[in-house]
Amino acid sequence: MRAIIDTNIFLAGLLNADGGAAKIICAFRDGKFALVVTKEVFDEYVRVIHLFDNDVPAHKSEELLELVFAKAVKVQPAASQGLCTDDDDEIFLSAALGGHADFIVTKNKKHFPKNATSVKIVNVREFLSAMEKKCGGKLRISR
């Protein structure tokens, strides 16, 4: 299973260690899915996560960024200009298309095209449910 994780999901996971977004970070760390990134996506993670340095302990944000850098599947973006209603989300759709991702996980589903046939636009709950189906039952994630 290949996924693009929107920055808002990673940030939510860093801010709330008990929430569903934190479970996605743990699932990535545990190898439950392949995270797909482009240079633009990684740069966005760094920029936005560091905007919240006062709210997120520095060691947590750096640990996540190092994990992404080390384990993510790095791909070249595909062309997708103008398909998202928010220009800032184009980088995630381009990465998904270029990396043949199965999912884009975001809190802003409405910004992505409704008819994206090659990639499913899902929220945290929907992605966790998809991972459980793939695993054949309850998702076991180490903390």
With contact defined as beta carbons under 8 Å apart, do 123 and 106 qualify? Answer: yes
Three-state SS at 22: helix
Whole-prediction pTM value?
0.87
Q: Tell me the pLDDT tens digit for each residue of 98-141.
A: 899 999 899 887 767 676 668 898 999 999 999 998 877 666 66
Q: What is the DSSP letter of 83?
A: -
Tokens of 127: 């992605």
Tokens of 114: 């409704």
Which residues are 103's β-sheet partners? 3, 120
With contact defined as beta carbons under 8 Å apart, do 91 and 75 qualify? Answer: no
Following DSSP, what letter does each residue of 3-21 receive, concatenated?
EEE-HHHHHHHHH-TTSHH
pLDDT band at 27 (very low <50, low <70, confident <90, very high): very high
**Residue ranges per structural domain of the chain:** 2-135
Q: Which CATH superfamily is domain 2-135 in?
A: 5'-nuclease (3.40.50.1010)
Give phi and psi for 99, each to the nearest 5. -100, 10
**Residue 5, pLDDT above cutoff 90:** yes
Q: What is the pLDDT of residue 89?
A: 72
Q: Beta strands 120-122 and 73-74: pairing type?
A: unpaired
> To the nearest whole number, what is the mean pLDDT of the chain?
87
